């Protein structure tokens, strides 16, 4: 999978879990499971994990669940369907 760059727009499918960590101790502080496909902005991509800006906050997600945002994905999201590979 291509390494994402800071500022890239990405697509995250529904049912993917995003995580937040306590800044001072690195302890898991919150998580959400996406109910619908979403987009986010990449802040960093290291060691198979992406940090993304989602709803105004920094979240972490496995890199295997993050895809470059393109026109085809936007059309699928608009029409309310997605196809698993």
The domain that contains 26 carries what CATH number?
Answer: 2.30.30
Specify the 3-state DSSP secondary structure of 72: helix
State the pLDDT at residue 23.
75
Q: How sure is the predictor about 52, in pLDDT bands with cuts at 50, 70 and 90?
A: very high
Q: Is residue 17 part of a domain?
A: yes
Q: What share of the chain is helix, strand, coil (3-state, %, to 5)?
A: 15, 45, 40
In Å, how far from its chain's centre is CA 79?
20
Q: What is the mean pLDDT of residues 12-40?
A: 91
Q: Is residue 78 part of a domain?
A: no
Q: Is residue 80 part of a domain?
A: no
Domains in the chain, number: 1
Q: What is the mean pLDDT of residues 49-57?
A: 94
Nearest to 42 by CA among 64, 17, 59, 23: 59
Mind listing the pLDDT tens digit for each residue in 33-46? 999 999 999 999 99
Sheet holding 49-54, edge to edge: 28-33, 17-21, 57-62, 49-54, 38-46, 9-12, 67-68
Q: Is residue 62 part of a domain?
A: yes
- The boundaries of the domain holding residue 19 are 9-71
CA distance linking residue 66 with residue 49, whole number of Å: 9
State the pLDDT at residue 78.
52
State the pLDDT at residue 85.
41
State the pLDDT at residue 25.
76
Mind listing the pLDDT tens digit for each residue in 58-83? 999 999 999 998 655 554 555 455 54
Nearest to 84 by CA among 15, 38, 18, 17: 15
């Amino acid at each position: 999978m291509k390494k994402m760059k800071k500022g890239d727009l990405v697509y995250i499918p529904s049912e993917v879990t995003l995580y937040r960590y306590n800044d001072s101790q690195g302890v898991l502080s919150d998580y959400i499971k996406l109910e619908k496909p979403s987009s986010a902005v990449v802040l960093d991509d290291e060691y198979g994990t992406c940090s993304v800006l989602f709803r105004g906050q920094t979240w972490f997600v496995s890199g295997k669940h993050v895809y470059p945002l393109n026109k085809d994905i936007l059309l699928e999201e608009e029409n309310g369907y997605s196809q698993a590979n």
